[in-house]
Amino acid sequence: MPDILTALPADACAATVLGGPTVVLALGGLRIVSDPTFDPIGQHGYLTKTIAPVATEEQVGAVDVVLVSHQEHPDNLDDRGRAFALAAPLVLAGPRSAEKLGSPAVGLAPWTERSLPRPDGGGELTVLAVPAVHGPEDGERDPFGNVNCEVIGFVLSGQDLPTVYISGDNASIRTVAEIARRAPAIDAAVLHAGAARVPAKFGGRPLTMDSRRAAAAAAVLGADVVVPAHYDGWAHFSEGRDDLEVAFQEAGLSSLLFATEHGSWTPLRRG
């Protein structure tokens, strides 16, 4: 597979899932990768990777910015993903994640933003950090108010661009509702689903959205395009693409769900 973006026109606004949580976005002439994971199949700490990504780092090619929802778990940032991120010109992550990652990582607390110049001449792309809850609402919180660990999501926006929400490992519909209220007019949502479960954490309850909550999040956001990620590739993901399709069909939202084959591009706006 060649560089996966060579076939895209320069003005494309699209996303492709490589496997697990890893998504490549083309937006405003920028090449953006979220939660890179490129390690081979096998054991990674207490987690087991079952499917390799559909593209290597070399096939993804040079990037402008890497978005890291959190750096503590190898299913969202593995060894090769970490090296890939730190070789990029800029990494945006939560404050404590950025401190642990080191340069070129920049920390963003929820509801703070960073503006990036756009190569397409359209001004700037604004990256807004938004909150995420990596487990049940009633889960024990650390001194910083986090469940499980520090996790953030992102809202990407700019003039004449679709506004894109990337959830990170968020399981909270209440948090999605807050984001919809404070950052309205979401056109597309990249939702981490899969109902990730680890028996030792929170009694095995989901650490990310299950399929029904993903459908509910889509309804709350009012997005026209939903690109699911984080639903395959790891043994602790308890729900897959079939579950997502059923949940969206039962909710009457099938037309919003773009669970395409990994490596294929989904436009981030309709029409």
Task: Give the pLDDT mean for 85-113.
Answer: 97
Measured between alpha carbons, how far is 3 from 17 in angstroms, rounded to an integer? 14
Return the structure tokens found at 220: 């709350």
For residue range 155-179, list pLDDT tens digits in order: 999 999 999 999 999 999 999 999 9
Cα 192–chain centre separation: 6
pLDDT of residue 186: 97
Q: Is residue 20 scored above 60 in pLDDT?
A: yes
Q: Is residue 4 scored above 70 in pLDDT?
A: no
pLDDT of residue 72: 86
Helices (H), 51-129: 57-60, 79-86, 95-101
pLDDT of residue 271: 66
pLDDT of residue 1: 45
Q: Of 2-16, 129-143, 181-195, where does the model show the most confidence?
A: 181-195
The distance in angstroms from the start CA to the end CA of the chain is: 28
Task: Give the pLDDT mean for 51-58.
Answer: 93
For residue range 117-159, list pLDDT tens digits in order: 999 998 999 999 999 999 999 888 888 888 888 999 999 999 9
Per-residue DSSP letter, 179: H
Instruction: Count CB-CB contacts under 10 A for residue 92.
Output: 26
pLDDT of residue 149: 87
111-116 contacts at long range (C-beta below 8 A, 24 or more positions apart): 111/182, 116/30, 116/64, 116/65, 116/90
Task: Give the pLDDT mean for 34-48.
Answer: 93
Confidence of residue 46 (pLDDT cuts 50, 70, 90): confident
Cα 79–chain centre separation: 18
Mean pLDDT of the chain: 93
Q: Is residue 91 scored above 70 in pLDDT?
A: yes
E strand residue ranges, the chain = 14-19, 22-27, 30-34, 42-44, 47-49, 65-67, 91-93, 105-107, 113-117, 124-131, 152-157, 164-166, 188-192, 225-229, 266-267
Measured between alpha carbons, how far is 151 from 8 in angstroms, rounded to an integer? 31
